[in-house]
A and B are shown apart, each in its own frame.
Chain A
Amino acid sequence: MLKSEKKSLFRFLALYTMMVIFMIMLLSLFYYQSQEKLMLSDQRAMLTKYAYIHTKRLKVLHHYFDERREYPRDPRFKSAIYDLEYMKIFSLLEEQNVRFDEEIYIINNHIHLVKTLDEFYLGAKYLVVEVKDSGAWRGEIWKNIIGYGFLALMFFMLFGLYFAKMFLKPMRDSIVLLDKFIKDTTHELNTPLSAILANIEMMDTEVMGEKNKTKLARINIAAKTVSVLYRDLTYLTLDHEKGNQDETIALKELIYDRTEYFSVLALSKHLECNLDLEEASITMDRRKFTRVIDNLISNAIKYNKRNGMVGITLREGMLLIWDTGIGIKEENIPFVFDRYIRFNETEGGFGVGLSIVKQILDEYHISIEVQSKEAEGTRMVLRW
Chain B
Amino acid sequence: MVKYIVIIALSVSGLYCQDAYERHCVECHKELPTSLQEMFKRYLLVYSGEQNVKAGLKHYLKYPLKEISVMDDLFLENYGVKEKTTLSDSDIDEALDIYWDKFKVFNKLK
Contact = CB atoms under 8 A, between A and B. Distances in A.
* A in complex with B: yes
Interface of A: 62-63, 65-66, 69-71, 83-85, 87, 89-90, 119-125
B50 interface: yes
A interface secondary structure, majority: loop
A87 B109 contact: no
A84 B55 CA distance: 13
B14 to A, nearest CB: 28
Q: Tell me which of B51, B53, B109 has the highest count of chain A C-beta atoms within 10 A of its own C-beta.
A: B109
B42 to A, nearest CB: 10
Contacts of B2: none
A90 B109 contact: yes
A156 B69 CA distance: 70
B109 A120 contact: no
A122 B50 CA distance: 12
A122 B44 contact: yes
Contact of A65 (B46, B48, B53, B105): B105
B49 A83 contact: yes
B109 A71 contact: yes
Closest 3 CB pairs of A and B: A84-B48, A85-B49, A84-B49
B16 interface: no
Interface in B22-78: 37, 41, 44-53
Contacts of A120: 44-48
10 contacts: A70-B109, A71-B109, A83-B49, A85-B52, A87-B49, A120-B45, A120-B47, A122-B44, A123-B45, A123-B49
Contacts of A62: 41, 44-45
Contacts of B51: 85
A83 B48 contact: yes
A70 B110 contact: yes
B108 interface: yes
A123 B48 contact: yes
B4 interface: no
A83 B50 contact: yes
B109 A69 contact: yes
A122 B49 contact: no
A120 B40 CA distance: 12
A120 B49 CA distance: 9
A120 B44 CA distance: 7
B79 interface: no
Contact of B110 (A69, A87, A121, A122): A69
A233 B106 CA distance: 93
B109 A123 contact: no
Contact of A125 (B41, B49, B50): B49
